[in-house]
């Protein structure tokens, strides 16, 4: 049974570029949430997708956008990258955004902006 | 504002010793509290989850407690091993909110180092 899969595992981008991160949820899960974790900090909530719609959003600028596909997989897009966007980006999946249990995290994508 | 505070920020213990990590929260409405273990550069892995009515839950050498009245939780690690070296994150779920389900509130974590 596959858990949450994220790709790529590592990525280096230049300031001003755009990046797309991908997430496949755990089998049976239909809700995907994205988090940004700076070094030494706890994860910060970016947004959550369910039924291909953004259901919740954290305090992140519009440069951060996302998408969920019919197979429940999701993408996180970041435009006009800044040095401060360097972080570990985590994807978490769960069953039904209206429930509060069963979050499973992926191993993350380490993004470095130079 | 929903907040989750963890202490200590970091901890060094000898292999085989026990330790206790603390989590205080101001989250409303409270749904559940989770403890996660996060190895460096990896995603968090769930250790325990407790709802309002549960005051203790164990997972092997890990035992979590919850006092919903004082809004405090602890994670006790027994007979520590080198592989326990990681960051331990307390996560409190708030909700349900009518149009947005649940919100996870993360602590900054306690960094634990177990030395030989």
- Give the tens place of pLDDT for each residue, B87-111: 999 999 887 766 666 778 899 999 9
Q: pLDDT per position in chain B (116 positions), as tens? A: 778 999 999 999 999 999 999 999 998 888 899 999 999 888 999 999 999 889 999 999 999 999 999 999 999 999 999 999 999 999 998 877 666 667 788 999 999 999 99
* CB neighbour burial string for A80-91, b if at least 16 within 10 angstroms, e if fewer: ebeeebbbbbbb
Asked if A11 reaches chain B (Cβ–Cβ under 8 Å), the answer is no
Place of tokens 């039924």: A51
SS3 B11: strand
B104: nearest CA in chain A?
Answer: A45
Q: Flag whether residue A97 sits within 8 Å of chain B, measured between CB atoms.
A: yes
Q: Where are the alpha helices (DSSP H) in chain B?
A: none
For A13-40, what is each residue's pLDDT tens digit?
A: 999 999 999 999 999 899 999 999 998 8
Residue B109: count other Cβ atoms within 10 Å of its Cβ.
27
Contacts of A90 in chain B (CB under 8 A): 43-44
CB of B62 less than 8 A from some CB of A: no
Angle at B94 between CA A28 and CA A43, to 5 degrees: 75
Residue A113 corresponds to which tokens in the numbers above?
A: 């902006």
């Amino acid at each position: 049974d596959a858990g949450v899969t994220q790709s790529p595992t590592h990525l280096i981008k230049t300031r001003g570029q755009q990046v797309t991160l991908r997430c496949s949820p755990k089998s049976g899960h239909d809700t995907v949430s994205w988090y940004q974790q700076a070094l030494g900090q706890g994860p910060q909530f970016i947004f959550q997708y369910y039924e291909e719609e953004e259901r919740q959003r954290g305090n992140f600028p519009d440069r951060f956008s996302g998408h969920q596909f019919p197979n429940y997989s999701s993408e996180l897009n970041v435009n006009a990258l800044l040095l401060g966007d360097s972080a570990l980006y985590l994807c978490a999946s769960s069953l039904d955004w209206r429930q509060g249990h069963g979050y499973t995290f992926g191993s993350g994508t380490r993004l470095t902006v130079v | 504002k929903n907040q989750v505070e963890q202490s200590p920020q970091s901890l060094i213990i000898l292999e085989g010793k026990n330790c206790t990590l603390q989590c205080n929260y101001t989250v409303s409405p409270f749904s559940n509290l989770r403890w996660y273990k996060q190895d460096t550069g990896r995603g968090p892995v769930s250790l325990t989850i407790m709802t309002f009515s549960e005051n203790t839950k164990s997972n092997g050498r890990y035992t979590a407690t919850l006092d919903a009245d004082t809004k405090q939780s602890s994670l006790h690690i027994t007979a520590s091993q080198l592989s326990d070296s990681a960051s331990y994150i307390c996560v409190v779920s708030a909700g349900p909110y009518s149009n947005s389900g649940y919100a996870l509130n993360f602590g900054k974590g306690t960094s634990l180092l177990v030395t030989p």
